[in-house]
Amino acid sequence: MRWAIAIMRNLNFQDSESSAHLCALFSKETGWPGRVLALWLALLLGGVRVLSAAVIGTNSPALPITRERIAALPVNQQASWREYLNHSDRQLIADQSFFFGEMRKHAVKETIVPPEGHSDSRLPLSKAQKWYGETEALRMADIVISFQTPAGGWSKNLDMTQHRRAPGELFSHDNASKYIADLDHDLPRHGHWSYVGTFDNDATIKQLRFLAKVIAAVGNEKDAPYRAAFLHGIEYVFAAQFPNGGWPQVWPLQGGYHDAITYNDDAMIKGLELLTEVAEGHNEFAFVPGPIRELAASSVRRGIDCILETQIEAAGRRTVWCQQHDALTLRPTSARNYEMPSQCGSESAGVRMFLMRLPNPNARTMATIDSSAAWFEKTKLRDVAWKAAGEQGRELIPTPGAGPLWARYYEIGTDHPIFGDRDKTIHDNVSEISKERRNGYSWYNERPQRALEQYRRWKDAYPRARAKRD
């Protein structure tokens, strides 16, 4: 009854109606008589407090990439990591020197905060091709170029429809959390210099895709500034890639969890998708020079190797991925206070769907896809829904016929859902975390179902390769 216990950990059964719901669900699942189930349920409910604890752990901060940690790596890995870190440090100094030199040159006394927005809604990518060569698109493209950092990337949450960046205007909006406290995992290392060049929230990737569409629409006579910005941005993507093939959330490195290999919000996967299209050179990427396309193809291969290496193994079986993995050890690591090392349902679904789109997957890739699919089948919940439940906000509610549903985080080794809070506590019952976090985060989702549906089609596409491997 593992699935039943998983539900028990996250449901409150304080009344007869809830108990009746559970009996009905269990009877449907097991075929047991109602009287037997009622007795079993009474016994189980009596032991609920044993199954659940108010706090089952504390979320420790992720470690940044440092020279001391690099020195502990195998000797044959140290040189590439030292050069990577040195490059990041040099670029950070160059970016900041450019900005503060600009302020002195233009006699700007105080920094200017740019307008806030969201890149996914401010840079359209689904317009007709003709639109990208017209006045409004070109105006936006000029704004995009003006906010490109000296390193070649972009920040997140910027409104790129209003005006070109002015001298002394920051490259990033105020991206700091409203809940920052002492020793918070999200505390910026450089004050207001945060997320200056990032892949978070689709930043950098969205700008590159937009510029590519503009380049394809305007033709060779007018594309020079956009082409230069695009190629500079692709070089930024190459420079940010770790020696082991992963990508951080922020580059130049910002420290903390930002230095980890980042699957969160599909950051690394969206970058790999872009580089795959660049390498192929189709459609709006036909202008990309051959040498850059070859580098993109190599970058994608290294990224895939990183994905395969970071698949979590627990209790002798391969499962899925964490939202972020330590760049040097590849182990699952934490991010924000409430994001703990774990097996992650949503982001792992995105990783699997990317792998299933690869042409001619090798045996190792196919085994990775198969094992992660088995984990998703094992951990899905049925007959429950994540929805509002009165003044307390969202809860996991018995709902016959609902699902399948997956938790965002699962404890490594047990596959039990776990939940974090802003005070870094880890819980096994979503009802025990603060109302603000319970209502302000996606603790359950249905995304893995799309990955399982794609998996069924994918299996049929490679019967010969599968038979040969087996």
Asked, for residue 114, whether it belongs to a domain, the answer is yes
Asked, for residue 349, whether it belongs to a domain, the answer is no
Quote the pLDDT of residue 47: 36
What's the CATH code of the domain at 125? 1.50.10.20
* Helix, strand, coil percent values for the chain (each to nearest 5): 50, 10, 40
Number of domains forming the structure of the chain: 1
Quote the pLDDT of residue 44: 40
Write down the pTM of the prediction: 0.87
Asked, for residue 302, whether it belongs to a domain, the answer is no
Residue 399's closest CA among 389, 391, 408? 389
Catalytic annotation, residues: 201, 336
Q: What does the buried/exposed string (b/e) look like for 195-222 if buried means 16 or more CB atoms within 10 Å of the residue's CB?
A: bbbbbbbbbbbbbbbbbbbbbbbbeeee
Asked, for residue 222, whether it belongs to a domain, the answer is yes
Tell me the C-alpha distance between 416 and 400, whole Å. Answer: 21
Residue 195, classed as helix, strand or coil, is coil
Quote the pLDDT of residue 174: 77
Is there a cis peptide before residue 404, judged by omega within 30 degrees of 0? Answer: yes
Asked, for residue 80, whether it belongs to a domain, the answer is yes
Quote the pLDDT of residue 121: 52
Quote the pLDDT of residue 280: 97
Asked, for residue 177, whether it belongs to a domain, the answer is yes
Quote the pLDDT of residue 185: 77
Tell me the C-alpha distance between 108 and 34, whole Å. Answer: 76
Quote the pLDDT of residue 276: 98
Tell me the C-alpha distance between 193 and 95, whole Å. Answer: 10
Instruction: Round to the nearest angstrom and report the end-to-end CA distance of the chain.
Output: 31
Asked, for residue 233, whether it belongs to a domain, the answer is yes
Which residue range forms the structural domain that includes residue 150?
Answer: 69-287
- Pick out the chain residues at pLDDT < 50: 1-9, 11-22, 26-27, 29-52, 120, 467, 470
